[in-house]
Amino acid sequence: MSPVSNTKMEIMSAIGKTDDHNLKMVLLLMLGIMEEIGGKIDRIYDDKQALRESVLNGHADVHHSDHEWIRHRREEYDIRQAFMARAEPVVGWVEAKIESEKDTKKQLKHNMIDKLSDFGSKLLWVLAGMAGYALANGWLFK
C-alpha cells in the first residue's frame, strides 16, 4: 500500500472515532485536498509529454541533443587535458630555451658593444699615434 492510501485510511479512521463535528469537517477537508492534489499529480504523471514540456521549460525538443553536445564537449575536454599533460614538459623546455636565447642575445649584444668600443678605442689610439707621428715629422703643417 502506498503512503497516500495509508494516510487516507488513518483520516477515515479518525473521522469515525470522533464525535466533534468541527474536527470531522477539518478532517474531511484535509481528505478532499489530499485526493485533489493526488489526482492532479496522477494526471500530470500520466501525461508524460506534458510533464516533459513542463519540466524542461520549452526545451524538450533539444534536450537530448544538449546531452549529446555536453558529452561530446567532455570527451574533447578530456582529450585536450591529456594532450596538455603530455605537452607540459615540452612547453617548459621551450620556455626555458627562449629565456636562454634571450640571455644569449643580450650577452652577444653586450660582447659586440664591448668589441666595438675596444676597436674604437684602439682606432683612436692609432689615429692619435699617426697624428703625433705626422706632427713630429712636420707633415701636418708644411
Q: 67 and 40 in one domain?
A: no
Give me the tens of pLDDT residue by residue for the chain, a chain 142 residues long: 455 578 889 988 998 898 998 999 999 999 999 999 988 888 888 888 777 777 777 777 788 888 999 999 999 999 999 999 999 999 999 999 888 888 888 888 888 888 989 899 999 999 998 888 888 887 766 5
Instruction: Please indicate, yes or no, if residue 88 is contained in any of the structural domains.
Output: yes
Alpha-carbon torsion (98, 104, 108, 113), positive or negative? positive
Determine how many CB atoms are found less than 10 A away from the CB of residue 4.
14
Q: 68 and 42 in one domain?
A: no
Q: Are 25 and 19 in contact (CB under 8 A)?
A: no
Which domain, by its residues, includes 20? Answer: 1-46
Instruction: Please indicate, yes or no, if residue 53 is contained in any of the structural domains.
Output: no
Q: Is the pTM of this model over 0.75?
A: no
Three-state DSSP state, 95: helix
Instruction: Please indicate, yes or no, if residue 89 is contained in any of the structural domains.
Output: yes
